[in-house]
Amino acid sequence: MPISNPSMPSVPDGLHADDLTLSAAGLLITAHTTAAQATCPRCGQSSTRIHSAYWRTLKDLPWHDRAVTWHLRVRRFRCGHCPGRIFAEPAAGLGLRKARRSERLAEAQTDIGMVLGGEPGALLSRRLAMPVSGDTVLRLIRRRAIASSPAPRVVGIDDWAWRRGQSYATIVCDLERRRVIDLRPGRSAAPVRDWLAAHPSVAVVSRDRAGPYAEAAHRRSGGDAGCRSPASARQCLRGTAQHRRASPIRDQGRGEPLHARAFSPS
């Protein structure tokens, strides 16, 4: 049956809801596909020859704090151009082939995981009637494509604690875009030197007074461009901030050189 009530879950085009079952476990929607034909994923030709059908179960976004599950009848088709080829039609607008959750649910859980991480994201998802495991949240995060960004020009380098007092690493931040771009193991000069060598676009390095970081920056550029003097680095960063209409970098009366301060990504 078509769902016309705006308070009920939306049904994607190409699907027809046959039954709604509400229980303590959530809302179960029984539906079937309505397309007259399907496209073979191998040759791209359409087919109307139905071979058989089977049932798929997919999780979807919650409805009124209740988990939503689709019980969907999907057909298999014979391809008239590929000998012996049998393929299943896609769940139009709901999920990819072999997926166990809808695309919109996966997107929501990925967004939560990007902010909170694995187990904390799973806890919040369960609280929002989108049950998922921490491992699955991490898999969803890894599947998301990372948008490419311009090569970094002004970076900040500082130490960072995996576990305070026990395990430390090096954090590299893009000061122009105010984002973390890499984490390097340890606090020695070698990982930083290798990272700088792999990023020749870096013109300014803002760092603390740790000897290894200074050594890495000076070795990378021969003590010239990779680690500029405090005055030139401050001038460069101010020009960049003004160009991007960001708040200018001020000394705030501390009297400390720019490279002596730790950078905290916002």
What Cα–Cα distance (Å) separates residue 165 from each residue in 159, 168, 203?
A: 12, 8, 32
pLDDT of residue 233: 53
Residue ranges per domain, the chain?
9-99, 101-146, 154-260
Alpha carbons within 13 A on the beta-carbon side of 93: 11
Predicted local distance difference test score (pLDDT) of residue 6: 54
Report pLDDT for 75: 93
pLDDT in the model for residue 236: 57
Greatest Cα pair distance, the chain, in angstroms, is 79
- According to DSSP, residue 228 is labeled -
Write down the pLDDT at residue 238: 63
The pLDDT of residue 202: 87
Quick one: pLDDT at residue 240?
A: 56
Confidence at residue 244, expressed as pLDDT on a 0 to 100 scale = 53
pTM: 0.61
Q: Whose CA is closest to 193, among 169, 228, 217, 209?
A: 217
β pairing state of 66-78 and 86-88: antiparallel
Which pLDDT score, from 0 to 100, does residue 214 have? 79
- Report yes or no: 12 and 29 within 8 Å, Cβ to Cβ: no
In tens digits, what is the pLDDT along the chain, a chain of 266 residues?
A: 445 455 667 888 888 899 999 988 899 999 999 888 999 988 889 999 999 999 999 999 999 889 999 999 999 999 988 888 999 998 877 888 888 999 999 999 999 999 998 999 999 999 999 999 999 999 999 988 777 778 888 988 888 888 887 888 888 999 988 888 888 888 888 888 888 888 888 888 888 777 787 777 776 655 444 444 445 555 655 665 565 544 444 433 344 444 444 444 44
